Amino acid sequence: MEGLKRETFASVFGLLMTMIGVAVGLGAIWRFPYMVGKFGGAAFVLFYMLVVSFIGIPALMVEWTLGRHTQRGTLGAYSKAGLPGGKVVGAFLFIIVFIATGYYSNAIGWVGFHAVGELAKVFQINFKPELILPPQEGFNLTSFVLQLIMTAVVIFFCAIVLNKGLRKGIEKTSKVIVPALFIILIVIILRSVTLPGSGEGIRWYIGGFRFNELTPSVMAAALGMAFFSMSLGGTFMVIYGSYLNKEAKIPKMAIFTGLGAALAGILAGFAIFPAVFSFGLEPSSGPNLIFSTLPQTFSKMPAGWLFGTLFFVGLFGAAFLSDIAAFEVLVGGITDNTKISRRKAVWGACLIVFFLAVPPMINFKVFVPWDLFFGSGMQVLGSLLAVLTAIWCIKRAELLKELSKGQNKPAPKILYLWMKFAVPAAILFVGINWLLESVFHTNIFG
């Protein structure tokens, strides 16, 4: 397969829209606002921006460099870079992506169903979007069937885009969805900040920073959020890095992508919290902020169905692009290492993912641990493995040369040292904190 010409992005704009689309996903629009609510607002937001700038963006550079240097995705990059046991590591992460893509596609189906629910309000249809959500425990047939249908719809549309390839499918779709997402967020912000009493929400969100609120727990949460929101994990960004041409400026593109993903999360907060405070609802309602608190908010505001529909359509689009990236990891891994055609690889991967999406549909007692392990935990591990592979297995001169391609000046050596020591240390800290809290139910900071 070495002789095949690898497809690359057609334009800088398309490349940037694709990368931002991957990074945003459910993380920036869904997880970021509820994490802000859970960890108290301004202190979390400020430290999150610092983490994105000094840890997230360098980590993103490393993952792209690993992909472009090896011209391979997850299934191939680690062994080709020279990591001992690299084939096993790549295969392990490849399987993890299969499993994680299943429950992620399912969650996207929830978002799509809520978008339909908001639109149904204008026709005064008695539509209950919460019926699609899994029960806390036990089994609910209605929820299960709705999830099967919506997950199948999501996966089908992913297949349509993937079958068209990188330029005509993924890049072209991203160039439409990402600008539309930001326009939608701005429209909702204009409505949200003009509601009576919205000023209290704005002050809570960005205006009430106090240093004593910047606790170790807040910092640990912000670190984890940065990796989640930028889709770092040694998978998505590695495969997309392998599609970068030699003229693509990795440092510059990483800065734009990191800041774009962070901006999406910040804008989502401005769209949500002023409205939540305006109607006296609870900003710290956790993961249900999107699926419970926000629908209540939209139902109370004038023309709420319109803003609710726009919000969930935008969220669906952002999550859809991340799902496409996950599938591309799988499809690229298959086509890079076998003689199977892209079309067969797409439909084969989609079928497997659909069946893997079934277990988390049962109830939240299955879904939440599934998410914590195959999503959060393995994402941190994958990111650490990608950084260690690129920094410790690729020669320094070759890595710096890869980082410097397309630029007038060579990449500074201080950047290499920062990637070699500071970035892995930060990822390891996030991983240990996740392990203690999620597995051993112990808070490292008391």
Q: What is the pLDDT of residues 418-442, one digit of tens each?
A: 999 999 998 888 888 777 777 777 7
pLDDT top residue among 284 and 408? 408
- pLDDT at site 3: 41
Between the alpha carbon of residue 333 and those of residues 75, 134, 159, 173, 329, the distances in Å are 5, 32, 16, 21, 6
- pLDDT at site 2: 44
Q: Does 410 have pLDDT greater than 80? A: yes
Calculate Rg over the CA atoms of the chain. 21
Q: Which CATH class is domain 12-439?
A: mainly alpha
> Which of 31-40, 242-251, 305-314, 360-369 shows the lowest mean pLDDT across its residues?
31-40
| Alpha-carbon 21 to chain mean position | 8
- pLDDT at site 177: 94
Domain layout of the chain by residue ranges: 12-439
Q: Looking at residues 31-57, what average pLDDT do you find?
A: 84
Q: Looking at residues 117-127, what average pLDDT do you find?
A: 85
Q: Does 287 have pLDDT greater than 80? A: no
- pLDDT at site 433: 78
Amino acid (one-letter) located at 436: L
Q: Angle between the 12-26 and 250-278 helix axes, to the nearest 10 degrees?
A: 40
* pLDDT tier for residue 123 given thresholds of 50, 70 and 90: confident
* pLDDT tier for residue 229 given thresholds of 50, 70 and 90: confident
CA–CA gap between residue 354 and residue 369 (Å, rounded): 19
- pLDDT at site 150: 97
Q: Does 4 have pLDDT greater than 60? A: no
Q: pLDDT tens across 341-385, in order?
A: 999 999 999 999 999 999 999 998 998 888 878 777 788 889 999
* pLDDT tier for residue 444 given thresholds of 50, 70 and 90: low
CA–CA gap between residue 265 and residue 23 (Å, rounded): 11
Q: Looking at residues 183-193, what average pLDDT do you find?
A: 91
- pLDDT at site 146: 97
Mean pLDDT over all residues of the chain? Answer: 88
Q: What does pTM read for this prediction?
A: 0.90
Q: Does 180 have pLDDT greater than 90? A: yes
Q: pLDDT tens across 62-121, in order?
A: 999 999 999 999 999 999 999 999 999 999 999 999 999 999 999 999 999 999 998 898
- pLDDT at site 5: 67
Q: Looking at residues 151-175, what average pLDDT do you find?
A: 96
